[in-house]
Chain A
Amino acid sequence: MERTIIFCMLFFFSSTVLAAASHRAVKYRQILLVIEKLEHAVKDKDVEWLHTPENPVEGCVDTALSCFKNGTLQLQPLNSQVNATFTKAIRVFRKYTIRSPGKQCESSCESYKKKPPKEFLTSFAKLIQKLLKNEYSAQQS
């Protein structure tokens, strides 16, 4: 009886992990699509530059993600025509939940250089692509 319970627990645990992994991949793809749309809808000139994490080391990825999330909320639309697209995109970032950053990361958002919005989005996309590629790599193995 105990063995059955243990096997069932293992089964449900692995199902949960797999579902979470695939959910993460789906979320990353969604974020990339939103970034692609935002790149053409965001105001790049005469706006405040944003702290842009570059190549965060292992252990600082979640911190970098939360920096990016906070930065997207400060973006401004290019004109009134793209307001609807812009609002939808920002809603996606608002709903995106990031794991609480680990205490071992010494870099804060302010430690990263400030860059214009379009470069900020390019770096954000690069980080998400890296995470997605790692996700696929883990799924394959």
Chain B
Amino acid sequence: MYQNDNCRPLSLSGHVGFDSLPDQLVNKSINQGFCFNILCIGETGIGKSTLIDTLFNTSFDDRVSTHFQPNVRLRAQTYELQESNVRLKLTIVNTVGFGDQINKEDSYQPIVDYIDAQFEAYLQEELKIKRSLYNYHDTRIHVCLYFISPTGHSLKTLDLLTMKNLDSKVNIIPVIAKADTISKTELQKFKIKLMSELVNNGVQIYQFPTDDETISKINATMNGHLPFAVVGSMEEMKVGNKMVKARQYPWGIVQVENENHCDFVKLREMLICTNMEDLREQTHARHYELYRRCKLEEMGFRDTGPENKPVSLQETYEAKRHEFFGELQRKEEEMRQMFVQRVKEKEAILKEAERELQAKFEHLKRLHQEERMKLEEKRKLLEDDMIAFNKRKAATELLQAQAFASTPSVSLKKDKDRKK
């Protein structure tokens, strides 16, 4: 069988109809539904839940967290949203207690562990023999919204540390939360400072893709507006003759969807309307592949052997298996030896104890025998005494009887006196 590798383009002389392919693909996806998972990282009370509510124009979980969490926990909730014929399975993961502890050294670790756990779950499914990837509920985090406090100065150390640990695992989009506390000029300076700090520290945040002509221009512009300064609110107020989402202050009304007031609209545009699919693809093709490669290499699998020849996984597996079983056997032998040793020791101890017991028994027996002999002697003496006494008694009675027979009354009295 030979293959014609000359892939020359062919011109069609009429309408064939495969231009409906993108539609066929899209229809399949509509049928299956979409999955999107957002991770929100930010201090308690910074406005994460409100922003997500505003982004998706709905009311998610109401629960407000306390500030007294002992460590950082992640709470994930899944919702089913539908817009026209698109079903979206949206999972929101919140960091509960982030930034609340006195010692924040380990704050980022639970987050990293969670993201890794989702990759791990997918990897496990992919490596199964009987797998069902096409209806697998993908829980891998597609985007991480990192909420920066609107201090106006710079990034906090905790922020830098966390983002540095996450940038190779997830698409990070930093946002400046509660942006209505910063003035416009301060905001510009703040943004520049933030971006330069991120660049200086080598933090790779998500760049909106500019390789497709239809969206490259708008994406490039938006890249320049990062981080987005956002304000979230689900309360509606009347401004002019429309009801808009806004926050009311004594000095004015901050309108959420007004581009002059904050970058909320930009965030929604970029996150949902323009780049949702790209975020999902980057998560799968880049971050997940990196995780998979690292994990498999960690376990000792290689694509090329020591001579740089491609090694089939089968050979590596066989080698590993051989090694593993060798190790197993060695350990078994070791354990067996140890067991035998222990048994010997125990036996010795028990023997010793038995001997002691025996010695004690002998000793006691001897004592008992001695006691017995002594008792025997005493008894003999007593018996001898008793015999002697009885003899004397008999003799005395005889004498008495004789005396009584010769002098009855006087001797009686004398006897009585004598007896007293």
A, B bound: no
Binding site for A on B (CB under 8 A): none
